Amino acid sequence: MKTRKKLDSNTVLIIITIALFVFMYAVGCVMYQDKGFGNFQTFLNVLINNAGLICVTCGMTCVMLTGGIDISVGSVIAMDCMLLVYGMTEWKMGAVPMVILVLVIGLVFGLVQGFLVGYLEIQPFIVTMAGMFFARGMTAVICSGQISITEADNPIFYKWANSKITLPEFMGKVNRHGKVIAPYMRPTVVIALLVLILIFLMLKYTKFGRNMYAVGGNQTSATMMGLNVKKTKMLSYILSSFLCSIGGILYCLNTMSGSVNQAKGLEMDAIASAVIGGTLLTGGVGNVIGSLFGVLINGTITVLVNTNGKLLSSWANIATAALLCVFIILQSVFALVKARRNN
């Protein structure tokens, strides 16, 4: 009997991810020490800026577990933000009804996409690509300019966006005047982490969560086991779009504005985060903890590019794309090696 637990390729991928994050952060700390990169607040800012992305990536991970993909998320976020901002400034609606409306729209959007993918068996990429252009177009239909929301428009929403959760002082740093500045974070981070934990528990302990792994692992055997493959797939898309709507609200709380070009390429960030976090594109393997590290890596890249100041912001896009490329190549190499070993 083997006593040593054998490392499988998926664990290796997650370890690579975590190591990469630590390495990148350490490099950042050393390179930009004078710009305050090493502060705990910088790390919290990464979380604050990416709270929406964490939610979206959780949804993306669930869809990818079933072997599908959802590239509509970026546009859906743009649509949500625009709707929230437009509703509160032009229609003078309250914050709570608008949030509920956005969540309902997310559910409906997911229902349509999920039905098309699950029950009509159309390729997920085609369906969600149509969804991507549809949502982006709808954003322009609502309003084609850029609008932002101020305190006068909706005090409640403004209060939500600007409330701080101050952390204990010992984590903070001492400023020039010898005064301790306590680090803070926003409620959006708490919501995002709560979502992450809920999805983690759901994937691990509920029937639906395990069904998703089964469907993604091998659809034929899942059918033979008596699982409702179509329903599971549909539910995964509904979940993804719903989480995407939550992500959109968090994103809007962070930016407080809506424009047609908002969150462009966010689908790429979400997919890259999930893939970097060890979710297999073929489905069946992955979990949201890995995805969290994927998001953190993604956020760190952006912060590194911004802190540098001289680099164009498109470098962040290129770096993310390159990382995605490296990781999917790694995945497919592992898969090829595995297939060869089995033969």
Residues forming the site for other proteins (CB under 8 A): 69, 71, 116, 119-123, 125-127, 129-134, 136-138, 140-141, 144, 260, 265, 268, 271, 281, 312, 314-315, 317-318, 320-322, 324-325, 328-329, 332-333, 335-336
252 and 81 in contact (C-beta within 8 Å)? yes
Between residues 238 and 323, which has the closer beta carbon with respect to other proteins? 323
Between residues 137 and 155, which has the closer beta carbon with respect to other proteins? 137
How near is the Cβ of 48 to other proteins at its closest, in Å? 23
Round to whole Å and give the CA distance between 343 and 340: 5
Between residues 27 and 311, which has the closer beta carbon with respect to other proteins? 311
Phi, psi of 185 (to 5 degrees): -140, 175
Instruction: Quote the DSSP letter at residue 166.
Output: E
Instruction: Quote the DSSP letter at residue 174.
Output: E
Sorted by sequence, the CB contacts under 8 Å of residue 137 that are 6+ apart come out as none
Between residues 1 and 312, which has the closer beta carbon with respect to other proteins? 312
257 and 157 in contact (C-beta within 8 Å)? no
- Name residue 90's beta-bridge partners: none
Instruction: Quote the DSSP letter at residue 49.
Output: H
**Which residue from 112, 150, 343 is spatially nearest to 240, judged by alpha carbons?**
112
How near is the Cβ of 314 to other proteins at its closest, in Å? 4
**Which residue from 205, 158, 232, 186 is spatially nearest to 54, judged by alpha carbons?**
186
Between residues 234 and 253, which has the closer beta carbon with respect to other proteins? 234
How near is the Cβ of 341 to other proteins at its closest, in Å? 16
Question: What amino acid occupies position 205?
Answer: Y
How near is the Cβ of 42 to other proteins at its closest, in Å? 24
Paired tokens of 13: 């991928």
Label the pairing between strands 165-166 and 173-174. unpaired
How near is the Cβ of 160 to other proteins at its closest, in Å? 29
How near is the Cβ of 270 to other proteins at its closest, in Å? 11
Between residues 66 and 188, which has the closer beta carbon with respect to other proteins? 66
How near is the Cβ of 211 to other proteins at its closest, in Å? 20
Could you tell me how far CA 318 lies from the centroid of its own chain?
18
Between residues 210 and 230, which has the closer beta carbon with respect to other proteins? 230
Round to whole Å and give the CA distance between 302 and 325: 17
